[in-house]
Amino acid sequence: MGRGVLPSFEIFWDATFFWQCSWLSGREGYTYQAIAMEGFAIELHLKCLHRISNRSIKDIRGLSHGIRKSFEFLTNRDKNTIRKHFAEVAKQRFDCQLSIERGYAIDLDSVLDRAEKLFVDARYRAEGALSTRKRKRAGINHGIRALNRTLHDIILDKRPNWRKNRRIAKHLDNLP
């Protein structure tokens, strides 16, 4: 393994941590920080899938912070699994159904595009690089929690022994 590259479990752990922190930050009113962390969790979940699939380190590093690019680089099998599972998760989640009723698209492609735009926008706002008044918001985070849940579940299906890890197990019941 190359210098500075985390094994897939460590990437998964980081994704779990950022996902839980996003929920806690949002609950406390830190909207931009919460959205940035949730977007980062999606990015890490996708990179974990690449590591599980034994993608080369060079290829993964080349993905940078691109959520859409990272998704498109997955195997067709992983992309199809994500599409199917996401549709099932979105049907079951009250927040997704409410978003659909309000006219928001909750298909996977719309959510991936929304996640990427929000991640960039929220990250720069949280860092103070963008004014919260000068630039129109990239959108609302409809469907992004469902996408994190989907990716998290798929990874645990691929690596069921990770459910038993103490660092992960204590967080599973607290995730949104």
* pTM of the entire predicted model: 0.80
Of the candidates 15, 1, 52, 33, which has an alpha carbon nearest to the alpha carbon of residue 125?
A: 33
Show pLDDT as tens, one digit a residue, over the chain (176 residues): 444 445 788 888 788 777 777 766 766 666 767 777 888 889 889 988 988 887 766 666 666 668 888 899 899 999 999 999 999 999 999 989 998 999 989 999 999 988 888 777 766 665 665 555 544 444 467 888 899 999 999 999 999 988 877 666 666 555 65
pLDDT the model gives residue 16: 78
Kindly list the domain boundaries of the chain, sorted by start residue.
Answer: 8-172
**Cβ contact 65:119 at 8 Å:** yes
